[in-house]
Amino acid sequence: MPLVGPKEMFANAYQGQYAIGAFNVNNMEIIQGIMQAASEEKSPVILQVSAGARKYAGQRYIMKLVEAALADDPSVPVCVHLDHGPSFEMCRDCIDGGFTSVMIDGSHLPYEENVAITRKVVEYAHPKNVWVEAELGKLAGVEEHVSSAEHVYTDPDQAVDFVKRTECDSLAIAIGTSHGAYKFKGDAKLDFARLETISSKLPNYPLVLHGASSVPQEFVELCNKYGGQVGGAKGVPEDMLRKAARMGVCKINVDTDIRLALTASIRQFMTEHPEQFDPRSYLSPAREAVKKMVQRKIRDVMGSSGKA
């Protein structure tokens, strides 16, 4: 199966009250782990490429790895998505490079500027049948080049105006999630009343949650046990994310959890096998750790098992 856009994925997810997992990729092992999980769970999947991943691995390398993954199991619907595109130019280059979905992130801009740049990307992408995600509101926290010290919740009426004027295909909203591994100091809380209002004002419209890693404590503990210093890391409880998926959220982003699973596995292996220096020896179990973590997300958070 060739790469697909998320239109049909999201339509099915909205009606079925589940979400599609959007997993960030940076190298071969991460792509393999995600795709093996999606294949075994028979789930559609979105492979997300950030600006940092493009710089690290190279867009052409990533797309060739995806091409190889598609050949391994053609039955899995796969979308390749630009995560937090910082400019029209990067969105354009990804569209021209074969991405089937892009996100233009103008959330840090004044409202009218966000509208203008989103509209510009939409006008370039839609004639090429490429999906456009935008963001309204600000998520606190830090992830790659995306950072904010403040959290600005999405205004429901403004969301309606934004979608109408830009014609973006999906919208990332701010209801309490945040980027990075340190999401909450106290009890986790998401503004489900706000989500319900936005969803009611934009019926049948796919919403997106960024900053939605759960930061599983077993990975934090494993990482710290073998020399890491990931103290106080805390994510979004998985039951809250599953609830959001029943309320119009069709795409849930996961990045931090992948990094934790990969790094914890490598730290453990290198400590227990100090004589090893073959990268394959520690990257193989790391790939398996990514696969198992993604399978858990697909089953327990997204609810997308068997939806391919």
Phi, psi of 97, deg, nearest 5: -90, 5
pLDDT band of residue 180 (cuts 50, 70, 90) is low
Mean pLDDT confidence for 177-183: 57
CATH homologous superfamily of 7-302: Aldolase class I (3.20.20.70)
Buried b (16+ CB within 10 A) or exposed e, 252-276: bbbbbbbbbbbbbbbbbbeeeeeee
**3-class secondary structure per residue, the chain:** CCCCCCHHHHHHHHHHCCCEEEEECCCHHHHHHHHHHHHHHCCCEEEEEEHHHHHHHCHHHHHHHHHHHHHHCCCCCEEEEEEEECCHHHHHHHHHCCCCEEEECCCCCCHHHHHHHHHHHHHHHHHHCCEEEEEECECCEEECCEEECCCECCCHHHHHHHHHHHCCCEEEECCCCCECCECCCCCCCCCHHHHHHHHHHCCCCCEEECCCCCCCHHHHHHHHHCCCCCCCCECCCHHHHHHHHCCCEEEEEECHHHHHHHHHHHHHHHHHCCCCCCHHHHHHHHHHHHHHHHHHHHHHHHCCCCCC
Angle 30-42-258 from CA coordinates, rounded to 5°: 25
pLDDT in tens, 79-103: 999 999 999 999 999 999 999 999 9
pLDDT in the model for residue 148: 46
Mean pLDDT of all residues in the chain? 92
Mean pLDDT confidence for 266-277: 96
Annotated active-site residue in 72, 73, 83, 300:
83
pLDDT in tens, 17-54: 999 999 999 999 999 999 999 999 999 999 999 999 99
pLDDT band of residue 179 (cuts 50, 70, 90) is low
155 is catalytic: no
**Cα–Cα distance measured from residue 192 to residue 80, given in angstroms and rounded to the nearest whole number:** 29
Burial class for 237, CB neighbours closer than 10 Å (0-12, 13-18, 19+): middle
Put simply, whether the predicted model's pTM sits higher than 0.95 gets the answer no
Contact 47, 21 (CB under 8 A): no
pLDDT in the model for residue 55: 96
pLDDT in the model for residue 149: 45
Contact 59, 94 (CB under 8 A): yes
Query: What is the phi-psi region of residue 215: left when phi exceeds 0, alpha when psi lies from -120 to 50, beta otherwise?
Result: left
Contacts within 8 Å (CB) and 24+ apart, 281-284: 283/29
Q: Where are the domains of the chain?
A: 7-302
